[in-house]
Structures are given as structure tokens and as C-alpha cells.
Structure 1
Amino acid sequence: MLLNRASDAITLGSLLPDMIISKNFNHIQAHSIGHELWQVIGKDSEMNDLALGAISHGITPKGLDYFGDEQYSGFERGYCFEKGRLLVEETVAACNIPPQMGWWKAHNIVEMGIELRISALGNYGNTIHRAFSNVALITRLGEILPGLTGSSDHHIKSRLSGFTGYIDTSKATPMSLAQKYNFQMFIRHKINIDIPKVARLIELAAGYIDNDIDDFFRVVRKQVYNEIKSLD
């Protein structure tokens, strides 16, 4: 979406930062792996796409999550956090979480609102499943990642084989996204959310972004293009 073209490697790369988070490889490290991938495999055309996909998602270099989470347009944080301000109190109640987790999880609600909107534009689930069915690419990725992340071969293979069960690859609805989020929240925090309430918040979030999400993506696409041009 941000790179104006598609390939299995771009698809896998764009999901990679979220796949490789572990106790030994934190969120920031995972979302900064794109440049290292570029240096390691940048001359291989297919694997080059993997690095570009990871960069488009990440924080360093500045990709989607930098502008969505960290900093955007003079806001205190990124776009998704700013949009999530209106949902913090309801998110705390719906997700059964302490107040200090509210803004972070509200930003997740906004991300799901964006996912709902994007899913309405096309069947991206098929694209994801096709990428994860690319045996040669998955095998190559399984060879590269342990050395870059410090994770075991077993952990990497487990993440690669199970990740499509962790995200919503169907034609997303507020309820399907909330159900998948409940699964993620239980895995991460041993918390069960109120699924219908979260589904309603996802619908609200999709409405909150409607007036400026296209502008956000235009800005991010330009910034990602500039980041890629500056790669050494």
C-alpha cells in the first residue's frame, strides 16, 4: 500500500516487525530491523522487497509506525495515539485494563479502525495467505532471522507458521477484529476484553479517522519514499 506495488516479500516484510517481537527482541528493535535487513540482503531483488516492506512498517527508518505511533504533524505522539485520545476512558472499561494502559490500547483500537477501512477496499487476506505459502521465501526468512534477532530457530519457525492465526485475514468486520484482539490480549496480558464493546469502539474509531486518513497516508507514503531513497 505504501510502496505502490505488491509482492510476497513486501507483504511478509510489512508484517515482519510484529512477527519478531519477543522477550529478547523488543518492540523498538523489531520495528528498526528494516535497515539491517537492507544491508544484509539488499542486493537480492526478492529479499530486497522484504527489507523495503519492513522499512515501510517500522519506526527506524521512519515508516508507518513512526508516524502512527511516535510523531506526526506536531502532535504529542503519532496519528493513532492522537485519534485515540477520545477513546481512552471507554477503552479502559471495554478492555478490562488499568488506566495507565488506556492510551496505548486506545491507539490499538484506532489501528483496527484503519484496518477495517482498508479491508473494505479489497481482500488483503488472500495476499497475506499467498505470501505465507511461498515456501522458498519463508525458508529463506527462517534462515536469516535467528542471526538478526537472537531468537532460536524454533521460535522463528513457530512465529512464521502461526502468525496468520494471530491476525485477522478475513474480510474484516468490527466483531472479527475485536475477537482477534481478545485473543491477542489474552496471549499478551492474560486479559479477556468485552468483545461487543470493543467492536463498537472500532466502529467509532473508523468514523474518527474518516476525514483525514487519506491525507495521513499521502504524507506517510511520501516520507517512506524519501527514507528509501536515502538508504545506503
Structure 2
Amino acid sequence: MGRTSDSITLGSLFPDMAINARMTHTMAHSMGKKILQICKDNSKLLDFARGVVTHGISPRGLDYYGDEKFPGCERGYCFEKGRSLVEQTIDACNIPAEMGWWKAHNIVEMGIELRVSNRGPFGQTIRRAFNNHRLINQIGNLLADITGYDRYQLKSRIAGFPDYIEIFQATPQSLANKYRIQMFARHRININTAKVARLIEAAAEQVEDDLAEFFRVTNDNVLAALKDIEKALT
């Protein structure tokens, strides 16, 4: 988007925060257009809505190209890169075989995070956004109804989300530790963090050659889609 702000940062993370028993992953990653409609006349939250769109699956945001479909791949970029890591992921994460490809794509995502984290002060940017309590209150008050939370639950969910993600300088071990928290919270599974950390390093090396091209294609497509959506809403 050519700039950053607390609104963009929280919006770009919001689809993952919104998942709950009543809102599936697909639902949470398909509400960008609706949130943009809600926020289009609110100058303070418009960038938040734009951030939501950039993350999602429908409209096509980063997760569409990472998870669902990327040109030349059977599925998304992260799934394609995770193919060779499936068996090691099953072992490192103590999971059944049917979960292997899904969790291997998470390993690739963390490998990408490891690479991106070393390119700028992104942890600082995220910490600042989560300290913007006024903005979190605005989001909770405005969007609770469409997420299945009440406003207090949504604010609490947003405020507590840094427990699940890396908000400082990412290392393979720090990302593996965060993934341990996520896996136990979601599946009650204990992973082998040392093995996962090594896998994250392997995934980071695996994306080195074409990660810049992935981001170039994704960035161009997402911004074009965002412009079209906003134009249609005017």
C-alpha cells in the first residue's frame, strides 16, 4: 500500500483474529469486502478495512495466493513449497498424515516470516499497533456483530493475539515456540520445537530463489483488486 499505520497493521492481521467456533477460517478470510463497505465512510478505519482485504482469500489477498492458488502451482505458493517438507512436518509436529501438507504450508509461512522479519522493524510496527487501545476499542465496537463475538470478547481477542505471533525479531526457535502455543491451543498437540525450528530454517532456504517474485505478483494483483473493489463501492 506504500505506507504503514496501526490501522493497516491490525487490519492485515484481523482475519486470523476473527476465527472462532462460529466463524470458520474461510468465513474470516472472506469478509474483507463487507468490512470495507462498513468502513468506507470512516476515515479512521478505512485503512483497517484495506488491510483486511490484503490478507484474505475472497477477495483475493495474500492468503489466496499463498494457500489457494498461485500461477503455475496446483495450490498456493506456500502449499507448493511445503510438498517436500510433509513427512518431516508430520514427525516434528506429532500429527496424523492427513494434516501433513496443511501444517507443512505453515512451516513455509514461518520460513517466509523469518526472511521478512530480518528486513525491517516489523515487530516494532506490530507492537505499536497492539498498543493502540483506542483503535482496538473502535474495531471492537464496530465489528463485533459480524464476527460472532460480543464487543468485549472481540477487544479481548485482539488484545491477546500477540501471544500467538512473533512481535519481536523472529528466529527459528522463537517462531517454533509460538507455533507450539498455537498447536496446543487449537489441537491439544505438543510439537517438537527443536525439529520444527530446523524445518523453519529449511523452509526459509527453500523460498529464497523465488520469494521476491511471489510478493511481486501478489502485490500487483491484490492492489489491483483492492482498487476495483473501492471503485465499485463509490
Counterparts of residues 134-173 of structure 1 (less than 5 Å): 134-173=132-171
Distance 1:144 1:88 in 2: 41
Shift of 1:135: 2.0
AA of the residue aligned to 1:218: R
Match of 1:205 in 2: 203
Identity %: 54
TM-score normalized with structure 2 length: 0.96
Distance 1:135 1:188 in 2: 26
Aligned residues: 230
Match of 1:51 in 2: 49
Could you tell which deviates more after superposition, 35-44 or 88-97?
A: 35-44
TM-score normalized with structure 1 length: 0.97
2:129 to 131, 134, 140: 131
Shift of 1:155: 2.3
Match of 1:65 in 2: 63
Secondary structure at the aligned position of 2:170 is classed as coil
Measured on the aligned residues, the alpha-carbon RMSD in Å equals 0.9
Distance 2:153 2:95 in 1: 28
Could you tell which deviates more after superposition, 97-106 or 118-127?
A: 118-127
Conservation of the 8 A alpha-carbon contact between 2:140 and 2:152: no
Distance 1:195 1:136 in 2: 36
Conservation of the 8 A alpha-carbon contact between 2:117 and 2:170: yes
AA of the residue aligned to 2:187: H
Distance 2:159 2:54 in 1: 23
AA of the residue aligned to 2:27: Q
Shift of 1:116: 0.2
Return 5+ residue gaps in structure 1 as ranges. Answer: none
Could you tell which deviates more after superposition, 209-218 or 120-129?
A: 120-129
Distance 1:53 1:76 in 2: 27
Match of 1:194 in 2: 192
AA of the residue aligned to 1:155: Q
AA of the residue aligned to 2:48: L
Counterparts of residues 1-232 of structure 1 (less than 5 Å): 3-231=1-229, 232=232
Secondary structure at the aligned position of 1:45 is classed as coil
Runs of 4+ in 1 over 6 A off after TM superposition: none
AA of the residue aligned to 1:149: T
